[in-house]
Structure 1
């Protein structure tokens, strides 16, 4: 069965490619502010950068559970994308109004809102929020920063990012296989809460490094005193919109992989990307 024999599915895949291979979030932020943001990120003191990385990791840990529990598990329910952007903008306005220090207090709130919006999109694509694989896929979205010509080759490309998260989990996969061998067939699909928590914690630690790069851009922009509450709200809305797009593309691809097979969709995805580059 070929996806090209199903026009709507092929159209969905092309839209997913357009979303996932879009300019990076840092590039979009630079466009919003009217000037490159990379220099401001590099100018952040090392102590601040370390604090940001720690705050990002803590925020992802806190948001994963809180966001998923706050949504009803109703696959195919339409996503409330505008509502989540409104929540994020409100959070950003508060952070912007009270300055740089308040951004660390605002980060867990805005990250939870973004995680909730990602899970909302996953649900709208028909995924079960109680499924551990769905929870893992929601966290993976935050490793996706989009493409930029200035990015290192290892940081770009949707399937390269997925390869990164897959490699991250290989050791735990071995542990899970050993557990399944001891407990019998099907054990791998029956993770205990402790095992699931350990698995997600390792993934979050790795994803946080990539998510922290984009959050540093946000901090650098909002640390400018004249930015104020309005731009803080706009930046948060931009971030939420971006990760909603990443989630829509990611879960569309995963839905199509379930239907047509991983290798088949990956091949068609890469063919579409090649055509875009030539065109």
Structure 2
């Protein structure tokens, strides 16, 4: 768009769409709420227990994450194609993750690791639901790949800027340019870092059952929130063009950062 300023590009959106994007920026900015800060605190104070595990066990977490993502991706495809997935309501996936977190944390690290693929699959289903709500077909392979990218959009256990303000729309090349396994391999390290915090919070048997339930709820809520933001922006990008939506969203995020720095 030669000769067109950034301001003019953004102003091509209607006032209502600019307001919608501003709301999405606010949600992205506050996605890691107080519950996630508590998770980070509990996890950081329990990490010494994880450090005592054999290196083989610690090194296997990323491999387990790759396996869990692959299982969730393939399982989601089969569920979508069979049209057997029930409507679990607004909070259904969060409640399901609470149950698996409680069970997974009961025996400490050993049961928490076994529970990982189930929890990842529940979170992936919640992400797919967000895509469907914005008019995207969760059976479509490109949409399922976009769902995978949600796991790489930020770290819920940190208050630092983890790149989520620019990653929502900067993914088209990645989606179309690699295999599913390559995409999973690129997302897995970020998700594994998040799951390390989750495991740390679930290391104490029985008490880990309580923290596991809370951690799973917080994580599922976080990724569902990111998915709702991502697919709302994707819908707007389809309607108005990716550049104009990206510039408007980044401008809204920058404004929020400026106001917070006062």
Q: Same fold (TM over 0.5)?
A: yes
Question: Residues 146 and 229 (structure 1 numbering): CA distance in 2 closer, same or farther, change over 3 Å?
Answer: closer
Which ranges in structure 2 are unaligned for 5 or more consecutive residues?
Answer: 1-8
Partner of 1:241: 221
Partner of 2:116: 107
Which ranges in structure 1 are unaligned for 5 or more consecutive residues?
Answer: 173-198
Partner of 2:36: 29
SS at the partner of 2:139?
coil
Of the three residues 183, 189, 203, the one matched with 1:203 is: 183
Equivalent-residue separation in structure 2 for 1:39 and 1:166 (angstroms) = 38
Equivalent-residue separation in structure 1 for 2:103 and 2:206 (angstroms) = 14
SS at the partner of 1:116?
helix
Is 1:49 the equivalent of 2:58?
Answer: yes
Partner of 1:190: none
Cα displacement (A) at 1:12: 2.7
Is 1:86 the equivalent of 2:95?
Answer: yes
Q: TM-score with structure 2 length normalisation?
A: 0.81
SS at the partner of 2:191?
helix
How many residue pairs get matched?
A: 244
Is 1:158 the equivalent of 2:165?
Answer: yes
SS at the partner of 2:50?
coil
Question: Residues 59 and 271 (structure 1 numbering): CA distance in 2 closer, same or farther, change over 3 Å?
Answer: same
Equivalent-residue separation in structure 1 for 2:154 and 2:213 (angstroms) = 20
Partner of 2:194: 214
Equivalent-residue separation in structure 2 for 1:22 and 1:242 (angstroms) = 10
Q: TM-score with structure 1 length normalisation?
A: 0.76
Question: Residues 127 and 265 (structure 1 numbering): CA distance in 2 closer, same or farther, change over 3 Å?
Answer: same
RMSD (CA atoms): 3.0
